[in-house]
Amino acid sequence: MSGREKILNRAVKEIKDGMCVNLGIGMPTLIADRIPEEFDVMLQSENGLLGIGSYPKESEVDADLINAGKETVTAKRNASYFDSAESFSMIRGGHIDLAILGGMEVSETGDLANWMIPGKMVKGMGGAMDLVQGAKRIVVIMDHRNKYGESKVKKSCELPLTGEGVVHVLITDMAVFEFTEKGMELVELQEGVTLEELKEATAASFIVRESVK
């Protein structure tokens, strides 16, 4: 199983029946097709759609029906459409139960950097800054190391912050961490990863929970 598959399979377990969920652009959008069919989950997109369905088959593609990442999607029965202002009112009003976002860096205190790399052109910050403040629970999914083999789980973020102390759960291809009053706690090791390998690959300091598996 690839690292990405491990991340996605673990991330979908954070979604509970009855939730209203926002999936960030990139890897988080792939979670939509993994939500159990028996779950009554409403997927919200900040560009104005509540009730996102799975990715469309070629015959179902509607170029006007897209998610925040500009990917074509389907809409569930009874889906709602609205403008961006109303969408952000939902987010800022605390009506999103869970947001699953991608990350560039996460610090040991739960800071998140995920919207820009200095010197590279960006279209804008998107909805991430609103989501990390408005959603009730924030889960970040990302590779544990960058393409140079450097840890993306850091003592402190080096890239511009999206939010300070906003991450509740971090899921990587190596481990799952929770951020509590005690600090950053290791709660699960991904299959095939040892604690020694994780410590070597992680720049941040963390506590190992007694129940870790």
pLDDT tens over the chain, length 213 residues: 899 999 999 999 999 999 999 999 899 999 999 999 999 999 999 899 999 998 999 999 999 999 888 899 999 989 999 998 999 999 999 999 999 999 999 999 999 999 987 777 666 667 899 999 999 999 999 999 999 999 999 999 999 999 999 999 999 999 999 999 999 999 999 999 999 999 999 999 999 998 886
Active site residue 46: yes
Nearest to 45 by CA among 70, 62, 63: 70
Residues in the chain: 213
Answer yes or no: are the C-beta atoms of 11 and 5 closer than 8 Å.
no
CATH superfamily of this structure's domain 3-166: Glutaconate Coenzyme A-transferase (3.40.1080.10)
pTM of the model: 0.95
Which of 5, 14, 38, 46 is catalytic? The answer is 46
